[in-house]
Chain A
Amino acid sequence: MRMTKIVSDMLIVAWIKSYPDFRRNPLTILLLATIGAIPLFFMLIFSGGGLLVHGLIGALLSSVAFVAVLSGVQDISWDRYVKIREMIVAMPVHPASYALGVALAPLLLSIPSLVFFGAVIASLGALTVTTTLWTILAIVLVWASMSAIGFTISTYLSKVSMMVLNNVSTLLGFAFVFVPPVFYPETILGNLSWISVLIPTSNAAGLVRSYMGLLPLSTETIIIRWLILVATTVAFVVLTSVKARWRET
């Protein structure tokens, strides 16, 4: 199959998965922004503004991470339920187009939140051109890793009911975004701060903080953390591809 067809199909699937929400259910966009805004609101009150940029970094990453893991689980299981996936399997569509399209949709839905929180961070003077580029890379890797985790769950739990999967994915979304140091600095964890490296959301948050001068990390540590972020994504992609079958056996 031609690469141009694979890419254009991916964009069509992403459009199918995001456009109706943009057009007919814009509250979804607001809801995504709220996921980041609510903890930010409390941080602002309780820290007196001292942790504002930390919170904004959390808001930025959470608006992608939360919806990416949800989408990876819920969109796939919903498509299975309504048989859209079966229809697409029988079409001249490459499985990669479908998977990447489903993954891309939450990123599109997150754009308004990303722009909003990014603009607030920029207005506080915490972003330079270099920092912006590293932050974008961190966002992309958080999106990729969380989508991959979502796909892994929906692939390995394909026999589980959709209601259970929806709850599992929502709980996971909250767990990945609110429990580890995404909104707050990992130094608060003291000796346990290494845990944040293992979780894609907090690992990315730590990297962004280091580029913004909020977390002192050595060059070696930064490189290792990037590699761990990439490795986590690759591991979950591999885990999914081992089990996933486009055509059922």
Chain B
Amino acid sequence: MAEAVKSNGVVKVYRSRETVEALKGVDVTVGKGELFTLLGPNGAGKTTFLRIIATQLMPTKGDAYVLGYNVVKEAQEMREHIAVVPQDAATYYNFTPWEYAYYFARLRGMSASDARQMSEKALKAVDLWELRNRMCSALSGGEKKRAIIASALSSNAEVLMLDEPTSGLDAVARRGVWSTLRDLVNEGKTILLTTHMMEEAEIVSDRLAVINKGNIIAEGRLEEIKALTPEKYRVVVEGKFDRLSDFGEVAKLGDRYIVYLKTQEEALELLKTTLKMNLRAEASPITLEDVFVKLVGGVNHEND
């Protein structure tokens, strides 16, 4: 697959009162027509990386390319091909979704008729067509967010960069955005998405990378990321059970425990034992969140 985004050893150091190394040599490759998610905890460097790739922020060191354009030296040419939705972007209160989509398309150099056509398509894609002439101040949080996403979609850009586009949205609105993103990928667009929501990364991504403290600690397809830990199953146990660590690695969540197990047989064995003890237990395959927490070192071990 041809590359849409490629970064080699991107470093970003913020110097103010104290020096902070936000990115410590990030190497990422995103294929054309792929939805790539950068997953990481708050402050991991996701936004910094995306802003460098989106030509909004200068890297301290390293190279990055989008569609073959160098993000530092060929930013002007590159900007013709990208659209960005920044994290926590808000709307002008007296603007309408239509105006967002239309004027942003015009700023990209589209003719009035092309801009009208693309705006209609974008607003229909985010399910805002019926509300296109309503002032943003009268829209819900999710609708406002979708209005901003529409302004990026109306650009018809080949590469979309979305920084936590569904943060603050309810479940229904979030699924609406996910559906739009998958439709866009199926139309051939490349999407670089950042999120700290596991479910989002799991559902929408073709490939993903886990970033923590400025380093990429894992990259690949969902199943490749999940394969990074030997445990394949999890059993959540409620109640007091002293011998849980005999079965596998245990993470303690208050009065509940997550036990990580390598095989289905081990999971069934634990389930049988807990049922005999009259404890409530639930088994399922390991989730991305489990792997993520292990990778970023956030497991609260029972023995800790």
Contacts and interface: CB of A to CB of B under 8 A. Distances in A.
Interface of A: 1, 5, 9, 12-13, 15-16, 20-21, 24-25, 81-84, 86-93, 247-249
B92 A82 contact: yes
Contact of A21 (B76, B82, B88, B94): B94
Contacts of A92: 76, 79-80, 108-109
A81 B51 CA distance: 16
B57 interface: yes
Contacts of A12: 103, 106-107
B88 A5 contact: no
B91 interface: yes
B99 A90 contact: no
Contacts of B103: 12, 15-16
B89 A5 contact: no
Interface in B85-99: 85-92, 94-95, 99
A87 B107 CA distance: 11
A184 to B, nearest CB: 36
Contacts of A91: 79, 83, 104, 107-108, 155
B85 to A, nearest CB: 7
Contacts of A247: 55-58, 75
B57 A90 contact: no
Contact of A87 (B57, B75, B88, B151): B151
The 9 closest A-B pairs by CB, nearest first: A83-B89, A83-B86, A82-B90, A20-B94, A90-B84, A86-B86, A92-B79, A90-B54, A248-B57
Contacts of B131: none
Contacts of B76: 1, 92
B281 interface: no
Given A86-B84, A87-B104, A92-B109, A20 B92 contact: yes
Query: Which of B56, B57, B152, B161 counts the most chain A CB atoms within 10 A?
Result: B56
A91 B86 CA distance: 13
Contacts of A24: 94, 135
Nearest to B53: A90
A82 B144 CA distance: 12
Nearest to A248: B57
23 contacts: A1-B76, A9-B107, A12-B103, A16-B95, A16-B99, A20-B95, A20-B99, A25-B94, A82-B89, A82-B90, A86-B56, A86-B86, A86-B89, A90-B79, A90-B83, A90-B84, A91-B107, A93-B79, A93-B107, A247-B57, A247-B75, A248-B51, A249-B58
